[in-house]
């Protein structure tokens, strides 16, 4: 069993890159959110425990998340390869994941850090626009409407920016990310597992670079 991890700021393209790697390899894309929802839906003991926190609007504790991850991995085989997207988020979670994998005779093999210049991330996230009439999503640079300010789908002219996508909010999210993950990046760097990927390029180029660096 092998495991790799994708780390990157909001807007770095973790989901897109993970999908590209999954399509080109036999890695299984692991989403802790999907695992959590599946465990709740299945009514497993751990899922029911997680549900009790979710119903109260509380964060599901690390130990519950790790149990759900462990239960999912135990369903696989010794030949499976897993790709974690955006998890773990802290050194504490990373150590717990190491223990969970060790119990299965596995370990984290590589940790890919998606490097993207701040101006590129700001452009990616702050360029999003949504049609207030029909909900169609555009991007001023990547997916602009055919006619500026006019929705391709319904002809509406009210294309707005969500508060979460404003430049000020994006910069704040990046600051929080950097503050929260600096110690995690350092943790994996000291273990010699960190691999840098230039994700400020196109999704195709970033995917090709990561595939070339997969051990």
- What pLDDT digit, counting tens, does each position of 54-91 carry? 888 887 888 898 899 888 888 888 899 999 987 898 89
21-52 residue pLDDT tens: 999 999 999 888 788 888 999 999 999 999 99
Among 41, 162, 191, 213, the one annotated catalytic: 162
Question: What is the rounded CA–CA span in Å between residue 180 and residue 9?
Answer: 11
User: Which residues make beta-bridge pairs with 115?
Assistant: 198
The answer to whether 14 and 203 are in contact (CB under 8 A) is no
For residue 198, pLDDT beyond 80: yes
Q: Identify whether 22 is a catalytic site residue.
A: no
- Per CATH, the number for 2-116+166-213 is 3.40.50.300
The runs of H, that is alpha helices, within the chain are 14-24, 32-42, 45-55, 62-74, 91-103, 118-126, 167-190, 203-213
Among 14, 72, 124, 129, the one annotated catalytic: 14
Among 67, 72, 128, 129, the one annotated catalytic: 128
Arithmetic mean of pLDDT over the chain: 92
- Percent of the chain at pLDDT exceeding 70: 100
User: Which residues make beta-bridge pairs with 195?
Assistant: 112
Among 173, 179, 190, 191, the one annotated catalytic: 173
Angle between helices 45-55 and 62-74 (to 10 degrees): 150
Tell me what pLDDT residue 78 has.
85
Q: Identify whether 14 is a catalytic site residue.
A: yes
User: Which whole number is the average pLDDT over 94-123?
Assistant: 94
Record the tokens describing residue 162, joined without a space: 């969500």
Q: Identify whether 162 is a catalytic site residue.
A: yes
119-147 residue pLDDT tens: 999 999 999 999 999 999 999 988 999 99
Among 2, 22, 81, 89, the one annotated catalytic: 89
Q: Identify whether 67 is a catalytic site residue.
A: no
């Amino acid at each position: 069993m092998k495991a790799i991890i994708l780390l990157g700021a909001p807007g770095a393209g973790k989901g897109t890159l993970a999908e590209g790697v999954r399509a080109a390899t036999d890695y299984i894309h692991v989403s802790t959110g999907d695992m959590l929802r599946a465990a709740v839906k299945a009514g497993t003991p751990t899922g029911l425990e997680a549900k009790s926190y979710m119903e109260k609007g509380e964060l599901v504790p690390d130990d519950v998340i790790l149990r759900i991850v462990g239960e999912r991995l135990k369903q696989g085989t010794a030949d499976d390869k897993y790709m974690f997207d955006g998890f773990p988020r802290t050194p504490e979670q990373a150590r717990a994941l190491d223990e969970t994998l060790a119990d299965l005779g596995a370990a984290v093999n590589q940790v890919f850090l998606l490097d993207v210049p701040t101006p590129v991330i700001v452009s990616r996230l702050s360029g999003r626009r949504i049609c207030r009439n029909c909900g169609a999503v555009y991007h001023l640079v990547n997916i602009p409407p055919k006619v500026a300010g006019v929705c391709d789908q319904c002809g509406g002219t009210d294309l707005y920016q969500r508060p979460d996508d404003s430049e000020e909010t994006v910069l704040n999210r990046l600051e929080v990310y950097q503050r929260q993950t600096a110690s995690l990046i350092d943790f994996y760097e000291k273990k010699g597992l960190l691999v840098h990927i230039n994700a400020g390029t196109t999704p195709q180029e970033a995917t090709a670079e990561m595939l070339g660096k997969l051990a």
